[in-house]
Amino acid sequence: MLYAWGAGLPARHREWVLFDVTTRTWVLRHFARATVQLAPFAVLLYVFIPGESWVRAMAVLGGLLIGYFYSFAYVAESAEHRAVKAGYPRGTAAGLRAERNAAGRAEARQRYEERWRD
């Protein structure tokens, strides 16, 4: 649970951290971590803010939207920082993700060139 809040894992889990930030679903995993970080504050604000329930719900929803916005604005940097904390050189996670997607990007580029450059 502390990993979701930004704590590092023991060295024996180093490979799992790299998998976590480079797997196909790495953005969904980031979303799950952001939800774990935002949910307690959302619940506390909803419970302790005075007023009608719809006003409290809209206030919490606004806060969640802002929280998710800033979380996803730095999704790549956050993943890279987790890999660095696990002992990998900076750029390792981004490099592995780019390597994995290279074939798909090459195919998309070729389709683009065929359609728009000829």
100-109-101 Cα angle (round to 5): 5
More confident residue, 9 or 56: 56
| Domain membership flag for residue 30 | yes
Q: Which domain holds residue 111?
A: 9-116
| Domain membership flag for residue 96 | yes
For the residues 27-46, what does the mean pLDDT come to? 95
| Domain membership flag for residue 2 | no
The predicted structure's pLDDT at residue 53: 95
| Domain membership flag for residue 15 | yes
The predicted structure's pLDDT at residue 40: 95
- According to DSSP H, which parts of 1-118 are helical? 14-22, 26-48, 53-73, 75-85, 92-116
For the residues 95-117, what does the mean pLDDT come to? 86
| Domain membership flag for residue 4 | no
Q: Tell me: pLDDT of 9 over 90.
A: no
| Domain membership flag for residue 3 | no
Neighbour count for residue 21 (Cβ, 10 Å)? 25
- The whole-chain average pLDDT of the chain stands at 90
Q: Tell me: pLDDT of 118 over 70.
A: no
| Domain membership flag for residue 44 | yes
| Domain membership flag for residue 1 | no
- Our count of domains for the chain comes to 1
Q: Which two tokens stand for residue 82?
A: 């987790």
